[in-house]
Amino acid sequence: MTNTPFPDGFLWGGATAANQIEGAYDEGGKGLSVQDVMPRGISAPRSEQPTPDNLKLVGIDHYHRYAEDIALFAEMGFGVYRFSIAWSRIFPKGDETEPNEEGLAFYDRVLDELEKHGIEPLVTISHYETPLHLAETYGGWTNRELIGFYERYARTLFARFGARVKYWLTFNEINSLLHAPFMSGGIPIPEGGVPAQQLYQAMHHELVASARATRIAREVAPEAKVGCMVLSMPIYPLTPSPDDARAVMDADHGNLVYGDVHTRGAYPGYFLRTLREKGIELEITEQDRDDLTNTVDFVSFSYYMSIAETADPAKRAQGEGNIMGGVSNPTLEASEWGWQIDPVGLRLVLNQFWDRWQKPLFIVENGLGARDQLVEVDGEKTVVDDYRIAYLNDHLVQVGEALEDGVDVLGYTSWGCIDIVSASTAQLSKRYGFIYVDRNDDGTGTLDRYRKKSFGWYADVIRSNGASL
Ligand code: BG6
Q: pLDDT tens across 217-272, in order?
A: 999 999 999 999 999 999 999 999 999 999 999 999 999 999 999 999 999 999 99
Q: Which residues are catalytic?
A: 365
Residue 444 lies in domain: 11-463
Q: How much is the pTM?
A: 0.97
Mind giving me the DSSP string for 29-52?
A: T---BGGGG-TT-TTSPPPSS--T
For residue 352, the domain's CATH number is 3.20.20.80
- What is the residue with the minimal CA distance to atom 5 of ligand 1? 423
Q: Facing residues of 177 across strands?
A: none
pLDDT classification of 321: cutoffs 50, 70, 90: low
The answer to whether residue 468 sits within a structural domain is: no
4: in domain: no
Which ipTM was obtained for this model? Answer: 0.99
In a domain, 154, yes or no: yes
For ligand 1, say whether the CB of 300 is within 6 Å of any of its atoms.
no
**Pocket of ligand 1, candidates 231, 304, 424, 441: which has the most ligand atoms within 8 Å of its Cβ, to mutate?**
424
Residue 192 CB partners (closer than 8 Å, separation 6+): none
- Categorize the per-residue pLDDT at 322 as very low, low, confident or very high, splitting at 50, 70 and 90: low
Most ligand 1 atoms within 8 A of CB, residue of 228, 232, 422, 431 to mutate: 422
Could you tell me if residue 5 is inside a domain?
Answer: no
- Is the CB of 237 inside a 6 Å radius of any atom of ligand 1? no
Quick one: what percent of the chain has pLDDT higher than 70? 98
Find the helix packing angle between 386-404 and 343-357, rounded to 10°: 30
The three-state secondary structure class of 360 is coil
Residue 181 lies in a domain: yes
**For the chain, first and last CA: distance in Å?**
13
Q: Tens digits of per-residue pLDDT, 37-91?
A: 999 999 899 999 999 999 999 999 999 999 999 999 999 999 999 999 999 999 9
Nearest CA owner, ligand 1 atom 7: 423
Ligand 1 atom 14 nearest Cα: 424
Query: How many angstroms separate the CA atoms of 129 and 136, rounded?
Result: 13
pLDDT at 320 over 90: no
In a domain, 193, yes or no: yes
> Could you tell me if residue 2 is inside a domain?
no
Cβ(183) – ligand 1 distance below 6 Å: no
Mean pLDDT, the chain, whole residue set: 96
Q: How many domains does the chain have?
A: 1
Mean pLDDT over 401-405 rounds to 98
What spacing in Å lies between the alpha carbon of 466 and ligand 1's midpoint? 25
Q: What are phi and psi of 92, to 5 degrees?
A: -55, -35
Choosing from 183, 302, 427 the residue with most ligand 1 atoms within 8 A of its CB, the one to mutate for a pocket test is: 302
What single-letter amino acid sits at 7? P
Q: Is 84 in the pocket of ligand 1 (CB under 6 A)?
A: no
Q: Does residue 382 lie in a domain region?
A: yes
Mean local confidence (pLDDT), 393-414 = 98
In three-state secondary structure terms, 352 is helix
pLDDT at 317: 59
